[in-house]
Amino acid sequence: MILEAQDLRKRYGAYVALDGVSLAVREGEFVSIIGPNGAGKSTLINLLTGVLPPTEGRVRFKGRDIGGIGPAALARLGMARSFQLVQIFPDLTVLETLQAAAVSRLGRGGRLFASLRGDRQVQAEAIEVAALFGLADRAHSPARALPQGDKKLLDVASAFTLRPEIILLDEPTSGVSTADKHTVMEILVGAARQMGLKAIIQVEHDMDIVFAYSDRIIALHQGKVLADAAPAAIRADARVVDMVIGRRAAC
């Protein structure tokens, strides 16, 4: 297993956000985490990515305990995260945004802008990732001028520039038009394949996307795992359909 969570609990005072969640992600899997608002999805992702320590339980990445380690240290170990809200630098160009991520990965953050201007390795890596994500023709465009779909791609591409072994995606198609959602996902999955990522985990509310791309789906409800199964089994589970998915989305 590349990533494991064992009996995770997270409490905020008397409020229990997660209550005994366990999961395991194998190499080669695309796993989606679904659930209604308040189910514990964001808390789980924050625990899996070391942003928060669990109140109880353990998270292991490649056999190492990563509870509360923090995203920067975790990125150095080989796990990266993209966010629901696009985390681009609006005043940088597409290429500069990707260069900034490469500078961070290579440990050259102390001379960020000098690296952006003159580091050939940084520039080459940024150009490569821009091409993988279909952004090469916009390389010198300001990030703020991109359409929303391309902003989402740039956010994910920045995480990919960290060269992770596993990536966690927080609502990768949120704010993207229905017509563009599958394009975003196809580019993302294709880039992951070409870069040799070992696993993808996403939190996603669009059930069309979830069922189209997932190898396995984990359904959360009230801080617990309601189901953990392949898409066909999830779709056939009346309890998950009623409590999490909704009958129209399951059809």
Convert the pLDDT of each residue in 182-199 to its tens digit. Answer: 999 999 999 999 999 999
Per-residue pLDDT, averaged over 122-136, amounts to 92
CATH match of 1-72+215-251 with 3.40.50.300 = yes
pLDDT of residue 87: 62
Map residue 26 onto helix, strand or coil.
coil
CATH topology (fold) of 78-200 = Rossmann fold (3.40.50)
Per-residue pLDDT, averaged over 118-123, amounts to 77
- Residue given tokens 């038009």 in the structure block: 177
Question: Does position 107 have pLDDT exceeding 70, yes or no?
Answer: no
CA-to-CA distance for 201 and 159, rounded, in angstroms? 13
pLDDT of residue 103: 79
Pairing of strands 199-203, 166-170: parallel
pLDDT of residue 218: 98
pLDDT of residue 233: 97
Helices within the chain (DSSP H only)? 41-48, 71-77, 94-105, 112-118, 120-132, 148-161, 178-195, 207-213, 231-235, 238-240, 247-250
- Paired residues of 7 in beta bridges: none
Band of residue 17 on the pLDDT scale cut at 50, 70, 90: very high
Q: Name the segment(s) of the chain with CATH classification 3.40.50.300.
A: 1-72+215-251, 78-200
| pTM across the whole model | 0.89
pLDDT digits (tens, 9 = 90+) for 31-68: 999 999 999 999 999 999 989 999 999 999 999 999 98
Question: Does position 23 have pLDDT exceeding 70, yes or no?
Answer: yes
